[in-house]
Amino acid sequence: QVQLVESGGGVVQAGGSLRLSCAASGSIFSFSDVGWYRQAPGKRRELVASMPRDADIIYADSVKGRFTISRDNAKNTVSLQMSSLRPEDTAVYYCTGYINLRERWGRGTQVTVST
């Protein structure tokens, strides 16, 4: 079964750092157009960072300079390094990508930034 599984969420103090990871598993022939989204309580899901196959990396303005998306093609993983975290970064973070030309989403991992 093809799936994306996030890990690395948790509780961190404001100003701290966390690294989220997302692993694609199953029978994978292609894995592209990866990204991270987040959804805070009562808010819409929003783009955090995107790594399109044939375009430049995109970051939400609110995370530019603080978050970095990366991927390991050999391991079919996508990571999100988050630094200088703020309480407003608190949300469930979702990994997404096209696996075998079909869009997939992970179940999410909770990130809580305390004051």
pLDDT digits (tens, 9 = 90+) for 93-108: 999 999 999 999 999 9
Taking alpha carbons only, the member of 20, 5, 7, 4 closest to residue 85 is 20
Q: Are strands 109-114 and 10-13 parallel, antiparallel or unpaired?
A: parallel
Q: Structure tokens of 75? A: 């391991």
Per-residue model confidence (pLDDT) at position 54: 86
Per-residue model confidence (pLDDT) at position 110: 98
Low-confidence ranges of the chain (pLDDT < 50): none
